[in-house]
Structure 1
Amino acid sequence: MITLGEVTLHRVVEQTTPIFDPLAFFPGLTPELMAEDAAAHPNEWLDAATGLLNLPIQSYIVRTPHHTVLVDTCVGNHKRRPTRPFWNMRDDDTWPRNLAKLGFQVEDIDYVLCTHLHVDHVGWNTRLENGRWVPTFPKARYVFSKGETEHWQAEHAREPLPLFEDSVLPILEAGRAELVADDHQLGDHLRLTPTPGHTPHHVALEIGRGAVPEAVLSGDLIHSPIQLRHPELTMRVDSDPAQVVATRRRFLDCHCETRALLCTAHFPAPSVGRVEKAGRGYRLVAD
């Protein structure tokens, strides 16, 4: 648990098994750069045993004096993901067990916030009940960017997307979604900030009552520590590679100044730290 004044942060881990070929995941990564960076930072982002990315799948819970907010919901269970064998039709209780270990039940969640609508950020939005997908969190409102939702609705209309059908559409149909602007304020302590490029309306979440955030959850704006040292590295499904690089540099420059605690979605544990400039890139320093 991390305490920031009146707010506490908790990580809920679903998966830590190394996944993805790094050269496929980062199209601009060369074997030479990969070898050089992995040697300088052994077993940090590249698993030495498998040669695959250390890329944890995890959520955050943010508790304010007024609300318990779940940010991103990982992969989930019983979801058809044929192009991702390691996520296809999972039947694994790691995530709910880890949620319970932190002292939370699904009934405790007031809001579910998705930084964007990709497969590993929406999975536990829903669960299978008598052959139907229903909201996992019985009391929660689900906060989605309006622009992000409309983008994927249009994509789904052109070609059915399993993740939209099983993890987003049931929330919309149940009337449980709040479609908001990309700079939406959620209570006194939480506000969205636009960070487009990975998806058209990707958002980060700033935490703190003042104008300067105490912490920020970056979602998939940054996937891996190597992207701090080499911010130009894009990820294979970035919707706008040039935009995401510009957004990432602007975001990191900003938080070198604010000294906000940077809470990443996929960095290996502890996943959080303060960002500093380091040469032409950046580094994350443990708090």
Structure 2
Amino acid sequence: MAIQNRTYRVGDVTIQKVLEQKLRDVPKTFIYPTAKPEDFEGITTQLAAEDLEENREDLILSVHTWVVRTPKHVVLVDTGSGNHKQRPLNPSFHEQNIPFLERLRDEAGVLPEDVDYVFNTHLHVDHSGWNTVIKNDRWVPTFPNARYVFPRVEADYYGSPASHNEVNVPSLGVFEDSVLPVIEAGLVDFVGPDGGTYLDCFKFIPTRGHSIGHMSIQLASGGETAIFGGDILHHPIQVLRPHLNTVFCEFADEALASRAKILRKLAEDRALYCATHFGGSSTGYVALKDGTYTWTYA
């Protein structure tokens, strides 16, 4: 896989990251509340500079979109947290005004009308926010010519009172302003609970646990593979300590099982991993050495 100017090539498909924002000074004990002190012992030396703040304690996280160009289509994988969204219970994403669409244009050469497909791995606050923008006091699809593709189970759940629980407080309001408008516009292709192939080179892989219908997305082209993992892994810490769930994982046992499945697949297939929240390039490779997974940035 040739990597040039932060553009990654998988067969005849290219992948480029467009940053929405970095999240700084995030305490690892907040992200991993069930961790024991020994889970973090010796881990600092295995993490890169872009993973931790200068104090080598607090985490650096990224929120971004993946721009995927196939020979036929422009695809966005996950859309960050969006602008002007009302998130009073989640200050990190409340009433933002970030020049994300300008970056999409200037860095990736993509205008909203150029996008053919938007894939959401799941429908949390920081993965579906740019699905919509405010126009004349209404939320409308940001990418008017795109088909929006996401798990039906996610839409059903977040559109119902069943999701109104403590773990989902950070995503309150997301369905109403970032999901329902694209459904009502008739732009959605739902993915069933078993996942499956989409277009010529994508496959949705069920990885329930972090959320109720979470999907990872495999890209295969020219004998090469990449995986967009959504929130299977929040930070390289979880490659080194796969038993750690985040504070945002709603179904703990299933999250562990899904993480194990994807880590095993990444190592066996030598697939390029495109993470949603890792710092730096956010891309790299997982390997298995002496029974322990390792992470190397690409």
Q: By the TM > 0.5 criterion, same fold?
A: yes
Could you say what the CA RMSD is over the residues aligned between the two structures, in angstroms? Answer: 2.1
Whole-Å Cα distance in 2 between the matches of residues 41 and 247 of structure 1?
A: 23
Q: Is the 8 A contact 2:51 2:280 kept in 1?
A: no
Indicate yes or no: 2:84 matched with 1:65.
Answer: no
Match among 143, 151, 154 for residue 149 of structure 2: 143
TM-fit CA distance, 1:184: 3.0
TM-fit CA distance, 1:224: 0.4
5+ residue gaps, structure 1, are none
Whole-Å Cα distance in 1 between the matches of residues 224 and 155 of structure 2?
A: 26
Matched length? 285
TM-score, with structure 1 as normaliser: 0.92
Whole-Å Cα distance in 2 between the matches of residues 19 and 82 of structure 1?
A: 20
1:144-183 matches, within 5 Å, as 144-155=150-161, 161-181=172-192, 182-183=194-195
Match among 10, 17, 30 for residue 16 of structure 2: 10
Q: For 1:188, give the aligned amino acid.
A: D
Indicate yes or no: 2:99 matched with 1:99.
Answer: no
Whole-Å Cα distance in 1 between the matches of residues 35 and 74 of structure 2?
A: 39
Whole-Å Cα distance in 1 between the matches of residues 261 and 191 of structure 2?
A: 23
TM-fit CA distance, 1:23: 0.7
Per-residue CA shift, 1:139-165, capped at 9, x if unaligned? 011101111211212237868931111
Whole-Å Cα distance in 2 between the matches of residues 179 and 42 of structure 1?
A: 38
TM-score, with structure 2 as normaliser: 0.89
Higher strand share: 2
Identity over aligned pairs, percent: 37
Q: Is the 8 A contact 2:202 2:219 kept in 1?
A: yes
Residue 286 and residue 40 in structure 1: after superposition, are their counterparts in 2 closer, same or farther (change >3 A)? closer
Per-residue CA shift, 1:167-212, capped at 9, x if unaligned? 01111111111112242322111111111110121111111147x7
Moved more, 277-286 or 138-147: 277-286
Whole-Å Cα distance in 2 between the matches of residues 162 and 233 of structure 1?
A: 28
Whole-Å Cα distance in 2 between the matches of residues 127 and 254 of structure 1?
A: 36
Q: For 1:208, give the aligned amino acid.
A: A
TM-fit CA distance, 1:39: 4.8
Match among 18, 26, 38 for residue 32 of structure 2: 26
Whole-Å Cα distance in 2 between the matches of residues 282 and 16 of structure 1?
A: 26
Moved more, 134-143 or 38-47: 38-47
Q: For 1:196, give the aligned amino acid.
A: R
Q: For 1:149, give the aligned amino acid.
A: A
**Aligned residue in 2 for 1:258:** 269
Whole-Å Cα distance in 1 between the matches of residues 56 and 268 of structure 2?
A: 37
TM-fit CA distance, 1:32: 5.0
**Aligned residue in 1 for 2:196:** 184
Whole-Å Cα distance in 2 between the matches of residues 171 and 177 of structure 1?
A: 7
Indicate yes or no: 2:123 matched with 1:117.
Answer: yes
**Aligned residue in 1 for 2:4:** none
**Aligned residue in 2 for 1:200:** 212
Q: Is the 8 A contact 2:12 2:221 kept in 1?
A: no
Moved more, 25-34 or 4-13: 25-34
Q: Is the 8 A contact 2:44 2:56 kept in 1?
A: no
Q: For 1:176, give the aligned amino acid.
A: L
Q: For 2:102, give the aligned amino acid.
A: R
Q: Tell me the SS of whatever aligns to 1:54.
A: strand
